[in-house]
Amino acid sequence: MSKETKYTEDNIRSLDWKEHIRMRPGMYIGKLGDGSSADDGIYILVKEVLDNSIDEYVMGAGKTIEISIQGEKVVVRDYGRGIPLGKVVDVVSKMNTGGKYDSRAFKKSVGLNGVGTKAVNALSAFFKVESTRDGKSASAEFEKGNLTNQETLEETSRRRGTKVSFVPDNTIFKHYKYRAEYVAKMLKNYVYLNPGLTIIFNGEKYFSENGLKDLLSDTINKEDQLYDIIHLQGDDIEIAITHSKTQYSEEYHSFVNGQHTTQGGTHQAAFREAIVKTIREYYGKNYEASDIRKSIVSAISIKVMEPVFESQTKTKLGSAEMGGDLPTVRTYINDFVKTQLDNFLHKNPNTTESLQRKILQAERERKDLSGIRKLAKERAKKASLHNKKLRDCRVHLTDSKKDRNLESTLFITEGDSASGSITKSRDVNTQAVFSLRGKPLNSYNMSKKIVYENEEFNLLQAALNIEESLEDLRYNNIVIATDADVDGMHIRLLLITFFLQFFPEVIKEGHLYILQTPLFRVRNKKETIYCYSEQERRDAIAKLSGKPEITRFKGLGEISPDEFVHFIGDDIRLDPVMLDKEKSIEELLSFYMGKNTPQRQEFIIDNLKVELDTIEEEL
């Protein structure tokens, strides 16, 4: 019989605010990460500070926000009203303290619970807040949430506003690095949602005059727009809609009170429903919802009184009510879209003709594919039941309808040895493995039909659950894990082509990554160092005394599961796949996967020369 564990008053412990945040950071900022993903914690820290500055702008105070990120240090300066000088310490170090509880001051604020800056403070090795108002300033410095210095009521000639500086704690955010692309995307969303606001990031200016219309213009090239962007605005709501000529899936950008709700929610569901209902009524045809929404690229922003989100990171709206005397979110959006979109369609016959042709084309394609899709789904279901391709994770196996977990990851591997190593090393709760058989097909310029006819693509699509919308994506992170050789690189390229051709929003929304695994292992009797480049190998040899043993890993299958667990655990290194905004998807695919062999050969030779020159300099 097992010995009973004692449970007394001594077992009861009360944590102060900073201890709780540091012990359970995921409750406040979601996943930690290293900066390779847009939803990693270090970006949430920036967002939490920025949200306060945005709220100042919304309340009519301060039209410019300046942001600097140099290495690990982040500085955010706004020119709003400034924190009341006597409360500078309290608002960043006392839970449930802030001006947003007073609905007269912050009616439709991004953050409501007064937690954001406290979390940033607690999770930073260095944190400083400075407030200037009425010709006076006050400041406070902290280390891991502990007050280390305080200066109050100094005379100053500085402009009013608030300045926050912080350095994330590297004992919590390990090996982290800020990526300018992710920060820039965040800032662009802020200016799209706040026309007239200027944000300056490391000297670069971000500004928008046309709100969500500018967002869609930056998302989809003019040449790929089926018709000019429909841009409609009302009280507490703004929408923008077009359809892509080449994209297959639906793409939505949704926001609540300035927060990018990457996982949608009640407002996005209502928006999708309202579009279908309005278009059916306008044409007097009961078109299939999937035919109407196929290839749609759209955005919606609403403002809600005291919104309820499904997590502290606010990625999904749970509110059913708009607040005050307004109707439900669903009714409000439906009424707006029904009136405004219907009016627009009546006034723009060229748009309605183009849209109807697109719907009828989608209908024909769906009917042509209906038999193939049915067989493909049956094959996918059978394959899943027999666990031939997909080794799922428990977060999905236990509840198929569970919301996408921020930590859930699907590794796409090639070959039995590689998939075996990852399968044995993975966290079965959140990490799944999809095993390819041989090299995937080059899908460039092929129709969606190939996705259902090709077993690999069909089963991959089924595993990801992205046939109709990214909203149902089952894994937050899709990681291509192939050998670091020519064949592995080729497989990466073919998989990226598949996503660009049929599901580009997977890449646009930052879900696709390349797994980096070490090229070398350098060790002696006391220490082992894994090296991801030639330079790291040289540094490791210099660090370890004597003649260390050096192993060159030729493939994933050669790395034992005991070692592999380090490379897909806390120390995982991921390179995000990002799109060049200057080039269209068609241009990218045509250049890298088309038949322009001479131009591509010249490109490879030129870049190889640059790489060789770099290596020579290092040597």
Q: According to the model, what pLDDT value does residue 59 have? A: 85
Q: According to the model, what pLDDT value does residue 532 have? A: 86
Q: What is the pLDDT of residues 419-462, one digit of tens each?
A: 888 888 898 888 999 988 888 888 888 888 888 888 888 889 88
Q: Give the pLDDT band of residue 400 (cuts 50, 70, 90).
A: very low
pLDDT value at 402 more than 50: no
Can you tell me whether residue 412 is helix, strand or coil? Answer: strand
The backbone region for 75, taken as left when phi is positive above 0, alpha when psi lies in -120 to 50, beta otherwise, is: beta
Q: According to the model, what pLDDT value does residue 299 have? A: 96
Q: What are phi and psi of 82, to 5 degrees?
A: 80, 145
CA distances from 201 to 74, 75, 256, 614 (A): 11, 10, 23, 30
How far is residue 122 CA from its own chain's centroid? 24
The pLDDT of 86-93, averaged and rounded, is: 85
Distance CA 504, CA 327 (A): 36
For residue 385, how many other CB atoms are within 10 A of its CB?
8
Q: According to the model, what pLDDT value does residue 58 have? A: 85
| Pairing mode, strands 198-201 and 64-70 | parallel
Q: Where are the CATH 3.30.565.10 domain residues in the chain? A: 17-207
Query: What is the layout of strands, in order, in the sheet containing 251-256?
Result: 230-234, 237-243, 296-302, 251-256, 259-260
Out of 5-9, 399-403, 489-493, 611-615, give the one with best mean pLDDT: 489-493
Q: What is the pLDDT of residues 277-294, one digit of tens each?
A: 999 999 999 999 999 999
**Residue among 248, 29, 220, 236 nearest 123 (CA):** 29
Q: According to the model, what pLDDT value does residue 614 have? A: 43
Q: What is the pLDDT of residues 336-355, one digit of tens each?
A: 999 999 999 999 999 999 99
Distance CA 114, CA 95 (A): 6
Q: What is the pLDDT of residues 499-538, one digit of tens each?
A: 988 888 888 888 999 998 888 889 998 899 988 888 889 9
The residue to which tokens 């050998």 are assigned: 483
Both tokens assigned to 532: 């991801």
Distance CA 536, CA 272 (A): 50
For residue 536, how many other CB atoms are within 10 A of its CB?
16
pLDDT value at 220 more than 80: yes
The backbone region for 442, taken as left when phi is positive above 0, alpha when psi lies in -120 to 50, beta otherwise, is: beta
Q: Where are the CATH 3.40.50.670 domain residues in the chain? A: 387-517+558-582
Q: What is the pLDDT of residues 574-591, one digit of tens each?
A: 889 887 665 666 666 666
Check whether domain 17-207 has CATH 3.40.50.10790, yes or no: no
Q: Give the pLDDT band of residue 103 (cuts 50, 70, 90).
A: very low
The sign of the CA dihedral 34, 37, 41, 43 is positive
Task: Provide the percentage of residues in the chain whose pLDDT is more than 90.
Answer: 38
**Residue among 86, 36, 160 nearest 568 (CA):** 36
For residue 3, how many other CB atoms are within 10 A of its CB?
5
The pLDDT of 393-398, averaged and rounded, is: 68
Can you tell me whether residue 271 is helix, strand or coil? Answer: helix
Q: According to the model, what pLDDT value does residue 53 have? A: 92
The sign of the CA dihedral 597, 600, 602, 607 is negative
Can you tell me whether residue 404 is helix, strand or coil? Answer: coil
**Residue among 483, 397, 500, 472 nearest 436 (CA):** 483
Lowest mean pLDDT among 64-68, 414-418, 493-497, 543-547: 414-418
- 387-517+558-582 adopts what CATH topology? Rossmann fold (3.40.50)
Angle (deg, nearest 10), helices 534-543 and 597-618: 20
Both tokens assigned to 55: 């709220």
Q: According to the model, what pLDDT value does residue 304 have? A: 86
Q: Which residues contact 291 (CB under 8 A, 6 or more apart)?
A: 359, 362, 363, 366
- DSSP line for 377-388: HHHHHHHHHTTS
**Do 283 and 268 form a contact (C-beta atoms < 8 A)?**
no
Q: According to the model, what pLDDT value does residue 607 have? A: 56
- What's the CATH code, domain 212-365? 3.30.230.10
Q: What are phi and psi of 144, to 5 degrees?
A: 55, 35
**Do 237 and 212 form a contact (C-beta atoms < 8 A)?**
no
**Do 19 and 8 form a contact (C-beta atoms < 8 A)?**
no
Q: What rounded mean pLDDT belongs to the chain?
A: 83
Q: Where are the CATH 3.30.230.10 domain residues in the chain? A: 212-365
Question: Which segments within 471-527 are labelled E, that is strand?
Answer: 477-481, 512-516, 520-523
